[in-house]
Structure 1
Amino acid sequence: MTAKTPTVTPDRRQIGLTLMILFQCACVLFFVADVAEDIAEAGWAAATDIHLLPELGATLGMILGIAFEARYLLRILRKQAQMERQVSVAAGALNEVMEGYFREWKLTPSEQDIAGFTIKGYSIAEIAGFRGSAEATVKTHLNAIYRKAGVTGRGQLTSLLIEDLLRAPLVGEAPLVPQDRREPA
């Protein structure tokens, strides 16, 4: 079993915010060109003109708004990257916990596949469909898995792994099988 790396896709908020920033940049360029044209025609004395002051204020406000939105967008992107790294670490840790237990329980490759699908929450019918086997075969494998794991059902199997994951150190550190479940050396 291998952990899949999540696909990074921008969400609607990020796309919307990026489009809004681009639109506002176009508007700022228009306002800056208009103000520059007004100043070029009337000179710097036009800066006190009642018509030009609101344009200057609006332009400055849009520039500040763009700066704020760009900063916010960068913060969102950093937070998303951090969360994706955390999910990846957690997925890797869960995968290590699962593989450690599968070795300890001496599950066959078929049992490992079925246990993995079971932990992910798939139904017996779905697992049978994925594997191209009969539901009775999946049930037989599940009974063997539960017996080898010393649990009575799906809930206990999943909670055993999740509980161990919550107690486990980061991926790549000490063994993930708890002391009371290890074989004596």
Structure 2
Amino acid sequence: MSSPYSRQIGLVALILFQIMCVAFFIGDVIEDVRIEGWSSIGDAHIMPELGATAGLVLGVAFEIRYLLRLLRRQSQLERQMSVAAGALHEVMETYFRDWKLTPSEQDIAAFTIKGYSIAEIAGFRGSAEATIKTHLNAIYRKAGVTGRGQLTSLLIEDLLRAPLVGAGESGETPLKPASSG
């Protein structure tokens, strides 16, 4: 599966190639008309060149329009991803405060929710795996869950219920946990 960036680069390359072809055909038609005069426009040789040139111009216009639409869509998706990432961060922070997690527990909980293993988290923090497990047990107890899956599920379910918008009229963000367990 190709990425949006490789499709964009491919479209730009195709557009540039087609523009060069258009320039070639236009130059060839102009040269033919210069040599043979305007009466040559109806010749069997020039008519296909004019048709190909018109087709290429239409193709270039379509591709430029498609590329611009693709770029707008990509920008929109990036904004939506940014909103979703910010919303998840807000939901996590709200839960962490409600559960009264220590800064270390917050750090470990965030890594856990992001899917890192105990060994990876221990490596990030320069801690022993046993220390991470101890923190995780405290996090699970404070959150009222039995493990990583329930912890992640709790946050994701709350995020899916919350609207993905910024501040409401009251100035508060609408992303509050339904219950703090």
Relative to the length of structure 2, the TM-score reads 0.91
Distance 1:78 1:175 in 2: 27
Aligned residues: 174
Deviation at 1:112, TM superposition (A): 0.7
Aligned AA for 2:112?
A: T
Deviation at 1:172, TM superposition (A): 2.5
> Can you give the 5+ residue segments of structure 1 that lack an aligned partner in the other structure?
1-8
Q: Find out whether 1:126 has 2:126 as its counterpart.
A: no
Deviation at 1:27, TM superposition (A): 1.1
Q: Residue by residue, what CA displacement relative to the aligned partner does 1:140-167 show, whole Å, maximum 9, x if unpaired?
A: 1101110111111001100110011111
Task: Tell me if structure 1 keeps the 8 A contact 2:95–2:177.
Answer: no
The aligned residue for residue 177 of structure 2 is: 178
The correspondence for 2:63, drawn from 69, 92, 108, is 69
Task: Tell me if structure 1 keeps the 8 A contact 2:29–2:50.
Answer: yes
Deviation at 1:17, TM superposition (A): 0.7
Deviation at 1:44, TM superposition (A): 1.2
> Can you give the 5+ residue segments of structure 2 that lack an aligned partner in the other structure?
none
The aligned residue for residue 142 of structure 2 is: 148
Task: Tell me if structure 2 keeps the 8 A contact 1:32–1:59.
Answer: yes
Q: Say which structure, 1 or 2, has more relative contact order (CA 8 Å, 6+ apart).
A: 1
What is the root-mean-square deviation of aligned Cα atoms in Å?
1.5
The aligned residue for residue 4 of structure 1 is: none
Distance 2:88 2:100 in 1: 18
Task: Tell me if structure 1 keeps the 8 A contact 2:94–2:177.
Answer: no
> What secondary structure sits across from 1:171 in the alignment?
coil
The aligned residue for residue 60 of structure 1 is: 54
Distance 2:7 2:138 in 1: 47
Deviation at 1:175, TM superposition (A): 4.3
Distance 1:142 1:95 in 2: 19
Q: Residue by residue, what CA displacement relative to the aligned partner does 1:81-127 show, whole Å, maximum 9, x if unpaired?
A: 11111110000000000001111111111111110010011110111
Distance 1:90 1:47 in 2: 59
Relative to the length of structure 1, the TM-score reads 0.89
The aligned residue for residue 132 of structure 2 is: 138
The correspondence for 2:14, drawn from 20, 25, 28, is 20
